[in-house]
Homo-oligomer: A and B are copies of this chain.
Amino acid sequence: MRVADLTTPALLVDAGALEANLAAMATALPGPRLRPHVKAHKTTALAARQAAHGHHGFTCATVREVEGMAAAGLGDDLLLANEVLDARRLGAVVAAGARVTVAIDSPETLRAAVDGGVREVLIDVNIGLPRCGIAPDRAGALADDARAAGLSVRGVMGYEGHLQLLTDAAERARLTTECTDRLLAAHADVGGDVISGGGTGTHAYNTACTEIQAGSYALMDTAYTAAGLEFRQALTVLSTVISTTAPAGGMPGWAVADAGLKAFGMDHGNPAVPGADVWFCSDEHLTFAAATPPRTGDRVRVVPAHIDPTVALHERMYVIDGSADGGSRGSGAGDGIEDREVLDTWTVDLRGW
């Protein structure tokens, strides 16, 4: 099967860029230093590639992700880095033989872990992002309560999510240390072997954590690229130009591709078409103006602004033959994409809840 045979819109994974990203991160954070976050790709076939690079513990954001990873044989050490009030499905995964650790930040989530049959927890600590997590100075008491309830407390986690996309790398580094100092203070009270946190944007600066929860590095998006990250764009959305309008009456010309709000996570704004200005997205359309106007029927590759919610909209991703030294760079029309071979089809099998 060639790219020309695909129905659009379709997720394309450039095999060379993906492998280059996985290899670069495995060099920076080898083996257990990285606990890849599967929420960024929601695909066990891709997680298996991360395991092949030496990472056998994974981070999940949903119960479904934990279930799917265990079912795929990737359940050596799964962390649900999120709070749940009903852990019974997680307990079933534990009973079936996988190792599952869940984050807790309250008496209610502690109780849910006990009731659900999950025996290992991390204390989730708020280190600056106003989201989940207990205050650092209360983490020790929650750990004591958890141990008293029979749980094994493996350590702490805290996520400096608000720093991931800061474009000033020096500022990102400085603030990361501020956040991890809070996490280390909590850890001093909690104990345990695990200090988990970080992400693609802070992985190089977060030296306090024993393991980094990065996910976006594998496939990337325009937001992380704008933050100066060294990873390459490995995922694009293949689309077909279905309509073109020539310039007329002082109005510039434009083209419309068949990928819109149902093909892209939009919280970071419009996706990008290399060499073109994106005007707006509709449900199934992307209206853009290109320096070299495409023709109706051309295929264009569109780069998502935010990888995680983009992937969640698609049933599968197609792995294409992209060389590691340039194949992923061309993303516009006329880059010969249609003749590329589809090497593999990966189901985005961790969607939903």
CB distance A106 to B296 under 8 Å? yes
Residue of B nearest to A311 (CB): B262
Q: Which of A39, A133, A262, A285 has the most CB of B within 10 A?
A: A262
Q: Which of A63, A251, A282 has the most CB of B within 10 A?
A: A282
Q: In the complex, A245→B265 CA distance in Å?
A: 28
Known A242-B85, A248-B135: A287·B130 in contact at CB below 8 Å? yes
Q: Please report which residues of chain A, range 296-353, place their CB below 8 angstroms from some CB of chain B when the two chains form the complex.
A: 296-297, 306, 308-309, 312-315, 352-353
CB distance B243 to A306 under 8 Å? no
CB distance B267 to A85 under 8 Å? no
Known A106-B244, A285-B131, A353-B9: A265·B261 in contact at CB below 8 Å? yes
CB distance B131 to A287 under 8 Å? yes
Known A106-B243, A245-B126, A296-B109: A261·B309 in contact at CB below 8 Å? yes
Q: In the complex, which of the residues B10, B39, B243, B245 contacts A83, with contact meaning CB atoms closer than 8 Å?
A: B243
Interface residues on A, range: 35 or more
A244: B residues at CB distance < 8 A = 106
CB distance B306 to A261 under 8 Å? yes
Q: Is A24 an interface residue (CB 8 A)?
A: no
A312: B residues at CB distance < 8 A = 262, 313
- Distance (whole angstroms) from the CB of A282 to the closest CB of chain B: 6
CB distance B254 to A130 under 8 Å? yes
Q: Is A7 an interface residue (CB 8 A)?
A: yes
Q: In the complex, A306→B284 CA distance in Å?
A: 14
Q: Can you list, as one digit per residue, whether each of A122-135 has a CB less than 8 Å from chain B (1) or not (0)?
A: 00001000111101
Q: Can you list, as one digit per residue, whether each of A267-287 has a CB less than 8 Å from chain B (1) or not (0)?
A: 100000000000101111101
Known A85-B242, A244-B106: A256·B287 in contact at CB below 8 Å? no
Q: In the complex, A279→B242 CA distance in Å?
A: 38
Q: Please report which residues of chain A, range 38-67, place their CB below 8 angstroms from some CB of chain B when the two chains form the complex.
A: 39, 61-63
A86: B residues at CB distance < 8 A = 7
CB distance B266 to A83 under 8 Å? no
Q: Is A108 an interface residue (CB 8 A)?
A: yes
A266: B residues at CB distance < 8 A = 265-267, 309
Q: Is A212 an interface residue (CB 8 A)?
A: no
- Distance (whole angstroms) from the CB of A89 to the closest CB of chain B: 8
Q: Is A167 an interface residue (CB 8 A)?
A: no
Q: In the complex, A61→B256 CA distance in Å?
A: 14
Q: Please report which residues of chain A, range 117-156, place their CB below 8 angstroms from some CB of chain B when the two chains form the complex.
A: 126, 130-133, 135
CB distance A261 to B106 under 8 Å? no
Q: Is A186 an interface residue (CB 8 A)?
A: no
Q: In the complex, A306→B10 CA distance in Å?
A: 23
Q: Is A176 an interface residue (CB 8 A)?
A: no
Q: Is A82 an interface residue (CB 8 A)?
A: yes
- Distance (whole angstroms) from the CB of A56 to the closest CB of chain B: 23
Q: Which of A240, A254, A309 has the most CB of B within 10 A?
A: A309
Q: Could you list 20 A-B pairs, sorted by A, with CB under 8 Å?
A: A7-B86, A9-B353, A39-B283, A82-B258, A83-B242, A85-B240, A85-B296, A85-B297, A106-B296, A108-B296, A126-B245, A130-B254, A130-B279, A131-B256, A131-B282, A132-B242, A132-B256, A261-B309, A262-B309, A312-B313
